[in-house]
Amino acid sequence: MASSILVFLLVSALCLLSSPAPAVAQNLPPIVNGLSFTFYKSSCPKLESIVRDFLNKQFEKDIGLAAGLLRIHFHDCFVQGCDGSVLLDGSASGPSEQDAPPNLTLRPAAFQAINDLRALIDGQCGRVVSCADVVALAARDSVVLSGGPSYKVPLGRRDGVTFATRNATLASLPAPTFNVTQILPVLSLINLDADDLVALSGGHTIGRGHCSSFSNRIFPSRDPTMDQTFFNNLRDTCPASDTNATTSLDIRSPNVFDNKYYVDLMNRQGLFTSDENLYFDSRTKSLVLDFALNQTLFFEKFAFSMVKMGQLGVLTGGNGEIRANCSARNGGKISMWPVIDQHGEQTAAF
């Protein structure tokens, strides 16, 4: 009897050890033609560990960088696709996407980290990896290293050679003052739906917002959908609508990627109109409740929608270029064209 209990315990322990990490999502949307999970397998086999190791060290110094990197990927993909255009500095042809109002609060340290990663990867593999792919990997690792789900990132994006105008940037990124009715049409233009909106908004489980992004909810008076104590605290942080201060997006666990953001919303402690309204709109409320109660479900859906978002409008094959410097297009230089084998793997770059 004792020995059969021992066997049972041993088998159970082995099963537990060999079962996959619970947060790893298996359900993925279709992968766009030209992208693959093995894209850099021969041309830069250590790519993913280079990114992970570098960010691990950076986050020990500043965990806020994770939020900055995740947001850059979102702002890249929503505006003319995930082509690294948000990374470009302005040029004689006009101000860059970075100069458009929604991008003014992107963190300089996050842009710096992408450039540092670019140089590190270049040193080990040569110029074969696009900046847009570095951004997508950095966003995934920001999620993972903050406690969120891991997921596989399809790779093979090429870098764009143009950036969007100020107006195009403004039109592509929903404002924090928007409610669900105003946000959904912006998302439907890029084939994202209400479920994607609820899942992706969970990115607000880390990071910060400036007073100007939520002043519409506390001035001249409290948005009635906001919790009174939460309001009092926000008014302490932002005594005037133009105060240049910041506060956490998720008051329960500001630096941890978890489902507490949805618990905030249920307690009427979401920071932006675009957050809190998810709890009040009938098209999104039930998923907010589901995610608040079930973190595993949130992690799965978040990973699914991130892979979907990460493939928006990508340039592949011979389109675009592989930038030498993520902040500037290659200019007159001949762009690098990769050779792709039949498995969707990059085998060389000219």
By annotation, the residues acting in catalysis are 75
Asked if 336 and 127 touch (Cβ cutoff 8 Å), the reply is yes
- Cα-to-chain-centroid distance, residue 206: 11
For residue 260, the minimal CB distance to ligand HEM (Å) is 14
Q: Does residue number 71 form part of the binding site for ligand HEM (CB under 6 A)?
A: yes
Does the annotation place 258 within a ligand binding site?
A: yes
Segment lying near ligand HEM (by CB under 6 A), choices 8-16, 115-123, 149-157, 196-204 = 196-204
> 321: annotated binding-site residue?
no
| The only residue of 176, 270, 310, 344 in contact with ligand HEM, by rule CB under 6 A | 176
DSSP string over 270-308? -SSHHHHHHHHSTTTHHHHHHHHH-HHHHHHHHHHHHHH
- Mask for 15-44, x = binds ligand HEM (CB under 6 A): ------------------------------
Which residues from 235-264 bind ligand HEM, rule CB under 6 A? 249
Q: Which run of H or E residues covers position 246?
A: strand 246-248
CB atoms within 10 A of CB 21: 7
Q: Is 140 in the site for ligand HEM (CB under 6 A)?
A: no
Tell me: is residue 159 an annotated ligand-binding position. no
64 known member of a binding site: no
Is 181 labelled as part of a ligand binding site? Answer: no
Q: Kindly write out the interface string for residues 75-94 of this chain, putting x where it contacts ligand HEM by CB under 6 A and - elsewhere.
A: --------------------
Whether 140 contacts 70, CB under 8 Å: no
R_g over Cα of the chain: 21
Report if residue 207 touches ligand HEM, rule: CB under 6 A: yes
Burial of 72 (0-12, 13-18, 19+ CB in 10 A): buried
73 is in an annotated binding site: no
Sorted by sequence, the CB contacts under 8 Å of residue 254 that are 6+ apart come out as: 206, 207, 208, 248
Is 174 near ligand HEM (CB under 6 A)?
yes
Name the residue among 74, 26, 334 with its Cα closest to residue 197: 74
Residue with Cβ nearer ligand HEM (126 or 313): 313
Q: Which residue is nearest to ligand HEM (CB)?
A: 207
Instruction: Determine if residue 141 is labeled as part of a ligand binding site.
Output: no
Residue from 35, 36, 51, 68 binding ligand HEM (CB under 6 A): 68
Amino acid at 29: P
Residue that is written with structure tokens 């762009």 in the block? 335
> Is the peptide bond preceding residue 45 cis, with omega within 30 degrees of 0?
no
Distance of alpha carbon 227 from alpha carbon 210, whole angstroms: 19
Closest CB to ligand HEM among residues 68, 84: 68
Q: Is 59 in the site for ligand HEM (CB under 6 A)?
A: no
Within 8 A by CB and 6+ apart from 21, the residues are: 150
Token code pair at residue 275? 């957050």
- Taking the complex as a whole, the smallest distance from the CB of residue 80 to ligand HEM amounts, in Å, to 16
Residue 73 CA to residue 82 CA, distance in Å, equals 7
**Contact stretch for ligand HEM (CB under 6 A) within 25-33, 60-68, 320-328, 333-341:** 60-68
What is the three-class DSSP state of 111?
Answer: helix
Nearest by Cα to 146 from 206, 74, 72, 202:
206
From candidates 44, 67, 192, 265, binder to ligand HEM by CB under 6 A: 67
Question: Should residue 291 be labelled a site residue for ligand HEM when binding is judged by CB under 6 A?
Answer: no
81 is in an annotated binding site: yes
- Sign of the CA dihedral running 141, 142, 145, 148: negative
Instruction: Identify the residue among 213, 215, 269, 316 touching ligand HEM (CB under 6 A).
Output: 213
Site for ligand HEM in 99-118 (CB under 6 A): 105, 107
Total binding residues toward ligand HEM, as defined by CB under 6 A: 25
**Which residues of this protein are in contact with ligand HEM, per CB under 6 A?**
64, 67-68, 70-71, 74, 105, 107, 174-176, 183, 200-201, 203-204, 206-210, 213, 249, 272, 274
Binding residues: 76, 79, 81, 83, 85, 97, 174, 204-205, 250, 258
